[in-house]
A and B are shown apart, each in its own frame.
Chain A
Amino acid sequence: MTPTSTPLQRALRQAPDRTLAAQARPELEFFCFRVGELRFGVPSENVTEVLRAGLLTPLPRTPSFIMGVTGHRGQVLPVVDLLRFLSKGEARIGPRTRIFVGVSGSFVSGVVADTVLGLRRVPVSDILPPPLGGDAAAEHLLGIVSGGGPHDGLNLLNFSKLLQTARQRAVVR
């Protein structure tokens, strides 16, 4: 070890010759949003569009997690309140509330989001399994990403499963 070496000199000795291959670190892309105090990620392939919440038409005697319907591109979209669905509270619709259009197979549904955080690529290695023995919400999670700060964490949703469950719950009634 040379006594004259600096931190930069040491760093440059370890630096790679070319850009590291992306495949070396596989990533998944998530559509990230916040609703209430919770931050979620939905696989980006499940999200087609983001809309303004606008005015919803409430429906009589639907399950409580169906906030109502909205018309979008000539289609009637049921709008889901994730907080109610996961028993984490209740979403509120304000002037800047968004609804994203989620798809899974032939099923299409709107989901309420207070703020859209954007698309984020998450290294698969960063995804931790959902906590065992957690609450009922855990069964709809792909996993979690613990961020550096207390608000950077993400709950990655298994959106297809979520839509399936929702449909089952509605029909069972």
Chain B
Amino acid sequence: MSLESPNDKPAAKPRGAKKSPGAKAGADAANAIDPLKPFTDTLMAVLSGNLNARVPQDRVQADPTGFGHLLNQVLENFSSAEHRKQVAAQEIDQALDSLIILVREGDLSRWNTSTEDPQLGPLLEGFGKVIETLRIFVREINEAALRLSSSANQVLAASTQHETSSTEQAAAIHETTATMEELKHASAQIAENAGSVARVAEETLGAARAGRGAIGEFIQAMQQIRSDGVAVADSISKLSKRVERIGTVVEVIDEIADRSDLLALNAALEGSRAGEAGKGFSIVAAEMRRLAENVLESTKEIKNLITEIREATAAAAGAADASKHATESGEKLGAVAAQAVEGILAGVQETSDAARVINLATQQQRTATEQVVASMAEIEDVTRQTTQASKQATGAAAELTQLAGRLAELIKRFKAD
């Protein structure tokens, strides 16, 4: 207990007064009047609060009765008792303060109260032990709350994630189901198409068979045309030769006619020289000239005709040649076409078979797809439930987190260290 406590102050005044030269002078005067006065003064001083007031030593020594000494001893005891009482009161106050703070602020760290008082000691010690226990509790609770909060957070995070992935899974499953539905429709479509393909392939097969027949006939026709063309070319060649021969003959005729013309002219001149006797001769010669001229006119026409025939036969020969080439290439094309049609037949047969296989496969696929869709519906259901559950778990975890937070908050109010 501090000696500076306000209880000391009232005691200081009398002591100061005792030491002051005025008081000493007054006492000296009183001593002289009443020999009991120092005792009564001392008692008065003590009663008025100055517990340190004592009968001065000179009085005590001067008193042969020893009364002063006894009184001083009583006063000493009283002072000491009073002092102890004050200290205890102070310590109780202090302890009360600490408790008030503890209750008000939850601060367990500030409990530091001790006493010398043997009666008060066990009580405070008991308090101290309780507070220490509380402090340990608070510390542990605090730690637990922190851990709880962290765990709750983790749970919440995990739960949230689970919820998200569950939702995603549900979406994925939904999508898969939709896709499977589409696949089902698509395979139905494919089956239908494959059926159409098979039908068309069947028709094509028929047409290609007919085409094969037609191409065979075409090739035969081409061969016929070619052999006819060869005959035509032969005929043209013969005709050409004959026309050339006619040309030669016409040249000869021309030559003869020209000579005849000359002969006739010269005969006419001869006749003219023969005078009246040659007159008839001249007439015959003139007639002969006319004939020769007619022949020349005719041969001119024939020559023109021969030229025309030559051109025509050349054109015909060219055409026959072209026709020969055309029929040859026609035959080749026919052969190619026949080959192509054979290829088409084989291809169409394969197509038809393939289409049938596809039809079958798609039917099987449809069944399988339907099963998958059913399974997916079940999975979706389960997933929906899972999602629901994980939503609830997330809610609970959130609540838990909140609670852990609140707990930590509450515990924080108690300061253990």
Contact = CB atoms under 8 A, between A and B. Distances in A.
Interface of A: 29, 31, 44-45, 47-52, 96, 98, 116, 118-119
Contacts of A52: 258, 262
A118 B265 contact: yes
Contacts of A51: 262
B282 interface: yes
A48 B265 contact: no
A119 B286 CA distance: 8
B262 A119 contact: no
B289 interface: yes
Contact of A44 (B262, B269, B286): B269
B3 to A, nearest CB: 176
Given A118-B286, A118-B289, A119-B286, A31 B258 contact: no
A116 B263 CA distance: 13
Given A29-B272, A52-B258, A119 B266 contact: no
Question: Which of B258, B265, B282 is the most central at the interface, judged by chain A CB atoms within 10 Å of its CB?
Answer: B265
A113 B289 CA distance: 16
Nearest to B264: A118
B258 A119 contact: no
A50 B273 CA distance: 14
A31 B262 contact: no
Given A50-B266, A118-B265, A119-B269, 8 more contacts: A44-B269, A44-B272, A49-B269, A52-B258, A52-B262, A96-B258, A98-B262, A118-B286
B258 A50 contact: no
Interface of B: 258, 262, 265-266, 268-269, 272-273, 282, 286, 289
Nearest to B271: A119
B206 to A, nearest CB: 72
A96 B265 CA distance: 14
Contacts of A45: 272-273
A77 to B, nearest CB: 15
Given A52-B258, A118-B289, A119-B282, A47 B268 contact: no
A50 B262 contact: yes
Nearest to B268: A119
Question: Which of A44, A48, A52, A119 is the most central at the interface, judged by chain B CB atoms within 10 Å of its CB?
Answer: A119
Given A52-B258, A96-B258, A116 B272 contact: no
B269 A47 contact: yes
A98 B292 CA distance: 15
B32 to A, nearest CB: 207
A108 to B, nearest CB: 15
Contacts of B258: 52, 96
Nearest to A50: B265
Contacts of A29: 272
A45 B272 CA distance: 8
Contacts of B269: 31, 44, 47-50, 119
A51 B265 CA distance: 10
Nearest to A47: B269
A51 B266 CA distance: 9
B266 A49 contact: yes
Contacts of B289: 118
25 contacts: A29-B272, A44-B269, A44-B272, A44-B273, A45-B272, A45-B273, A47-B269, A48-B269, A49-B266, A49-B269, A50-B262, A50-B265, A51-B262, A96-B258, A98-B262, A116-B265, A118-B265, A118-B268, A118-B286, A118-B289, A119-B268, A119-B269, A119-B272, A119-B282, A119-B286
